[in-house]
Structure 1
Amino acid sequence: MHVLVAGATGVVGRPLVGALRARGHRVSALVRQRSRDRVPEADEVVVADALDREAVLAAVSAARPEVVVHQMSALRLLRDDPPGAFALTARLRTEGTAHLVEAARAVGARRFVAQSIAFAAAPAGDPVLDEDAPLYVDAPDPGWASTVRAVAELERQVTDPGSGLEGVVLRYGTLYGPRTAYARTGATAESVRAGRLPLPGTGAGIMSFLHVEDAVGAAVTAVEADVSGVFHVTDDDPAQAAQWLPHLARMLAAPSPRTVPAALAPRLLGWFMAHQLTSAHGAANDRARTALGWKPARPSWRDGLGQE
């Protein structure tokens, strides 16, 4: 098949290009002009800013793919400008998705696969939630509420039955591995080494992790499958912060995380990280296993977190 990968220089997009080509697919990489020198070995490169509707329509028209894969975000900016990174990512999930969907329809593409996140659910109900759990669109933090509303809008556009596309949403768990925040050289690892990531209260927040290689594998599976819908793409081992954070510190030969009162966590860490460590719920991957036919090659974060 001919597959267009938007966001082809990203943490998942870059290795995805190679994985698709290894499976015999022809791959067009859609990138911004400033990222052209970082393009992986694709069969073709097309250039457009995802927020420029006309440029996206022209680029996708030039490529004429059968399948469009949306892996775009601005999370590379998180280290230097967290508010800007989240705001731009929200626009890519709303405006950027709309432009790509329109372009895919215009060229007669059959399938549309988009990246989402598995940790946007409201913290209610079972400790580990499936895809039907409501999203946290009314989170008390305005920044996170805006992020989740953008996620909801992306998912609505991609799965809209009126689009004429077979829409697949892959809700990735918290990514670890090369080039992620949880890599040995990543921002989270640096915070752990410096003792800047304490454990609030009992560390009851639950994280569902995913290795980058498994994210790539899920995207390849979604391109080649014949099902549509929303899928949690996570490992098999949801874990409380009280489990994974001390483990990460040990792997990094860092000091053990100090314990702080949960009430202080938002001021010390920001609302989002405090939420992740104290009250977030995990994500079940049963639907991806049964309906999509995917399973993680790395079933547990315990075998790799902090080692790459």
Structure 2
Amino acid sequence: MRILVAGGSGVLGSRVVNLLVRAGHQVWATTRRGDREPLIAASGAKPVAMDALVADDVARAVEVSAPDVIIHELTDLAGSDFAGNARLRVEGTANLVAAARAHGVEHMIAQSIAWMYEPGEGPADETVPLARTTDGAPAFPSVEALEEAVLGLRHGIALRYGILYGPGTWYAADGDIYRRAADGEVVATTAWTSFVQVDDAAEATVDALAWPAGVVNVVDDAPAHVEEWGPRLVTLAGGLVRSISARAEGRAASNARARSLGWTPRHPSWRDAWEADSGA
């Protein structure tokens, strides 16, 4: 197939691009940074300069690539810019969906998150309602806006990834969260956490080319509370626990649907993977 990967030079997007090229697809990958274009070209994909916040840029990228499928891996988390990332989820997604519609592309796979379910007992499947604030507003409004836009396409798929770990992520030895853990501090987004190794997430994304429209959790088999995984991360990072906390209680997610569609994580438990990576 002809596939456009929006955000194709990022930690997850670059892995998806490599897998798609190896599978024999014709791949275009977007980036805002000119210095990343040679890396995209070296992977066998065709680089496309694009700022997702500029509608004309997005329209040109879709026109040039004429894709059968768009894979949306756009993020803006450099320097922990959460406001910028939220804006990209809303405005960038709107631009991407509008360009897709204008060029007759109805198949889109988009990056979402697995930690926005309302609190409750046990891991949540995809039918569980999403968390709300005390006044009833969405707890994760930019993510809900992203999903609404993508799922409005005839064949829109929202992959709710767990917390990514592995090389290049914030949980790698050179990542922000790992460095803070080395200082004894862990602040989780939600106390109940589902993880997924970044290469497993990339494989699920490619598998999703054959999945039906809708929402799918992409998480490992071992959800855990921050009171378990936080101290373990501190120990692996060589620190002494000073503070373990979370911004919200949250809820773990179930991967039963992804497994029913044929995906199996190569790293079923973050516990084993973290220890293997550390040499423990």
Amino acid at match of 1:207: T
CA contact (8 A) 1:28 1:42 kept: no
Matched, 1:173 2:169: no
Equivalent position of 2:201 in the other structure: 215
TM-score by length of 2: 0.90
Equivalent position of 1:268 in the other structure: none
Listed one character per residue, the Cα deviations across residues 92-149 of structure 1 (whole Å, up to 9, x for unaligned) are: 11111111112222222241000000011222x2232112222224268x9x94xx11
CA contact (8 A) 1:182 1:305 kept: no
SS in 1 for 2:158: strand
Amino acid at match of 1:158: V
Equivalent position of 2:266 in the other structure: 297
Gaps of 5+ in 2: none
**CA distance in 1: counterparts of 2:38 and 2:115, whole angstroms:** 29
CA contact (8 A) 2:8 2:31 kept: yes
Matched, 1:8 2:4: no
**CA distance in 2: counterparts of 1:43 and 1:174, whole angstroms:** 27
CA contact (8 A) 2:179 2:237 kept: no
Equivalent position of 1:90 in the other structure: 86
Equivalent position of 2:238 in the other structure: 253
Matched, 1:228 2:217: no
**CA distance in 1: counterparts of 2:198 and 2:134, whole angstroms:** 28
Listed one character per residue, the Cα deviations across residues 39-71 of structure 1 (whole Å, up to 9, x for unaligned) are: 422431221210111111112101101100000
**CA distance in 2: counterparts of 1:65 and 1:193, whole angstroms:** 44
SS in 1 for 2:90: helix
Matched, 1:117 2:100: no
Kindly state the Cα deviation for residue 11 of structure 1 after the two structures are TM-superposed: 1.0
SS in 1 for 2:274: coil
144, 163, 178: which one aligns with 1:152: 144
CA contact (8 A) 1:70 1:114 kept: yes
233, 241, 247: which one aligns with 1:274: 247
Identity of aligned residues (%): 40
**CA distance in 2: counterparts of 1:29 and 1:139, whole angstroms:** 40
Equivalent position of 1:197 in the other structure: 186
**CA distance in 1: counterparts of 2:118 and 2:77, whole angstroms:** 22
Gaps of 5+ in 1: 79-84, 266-272
TM-score by length of 1: 0.82
**What is the aligned length?**
273
Kindly state the Cα deviation for residue 9 of structure 1 after the two structures are TM-superposed: 1.2
Of residues 99-108 and 58-67 in structure 1, the stretch that sits farther from structure 2 once superposed is 99-108
Amino acid at match of 2:142: A
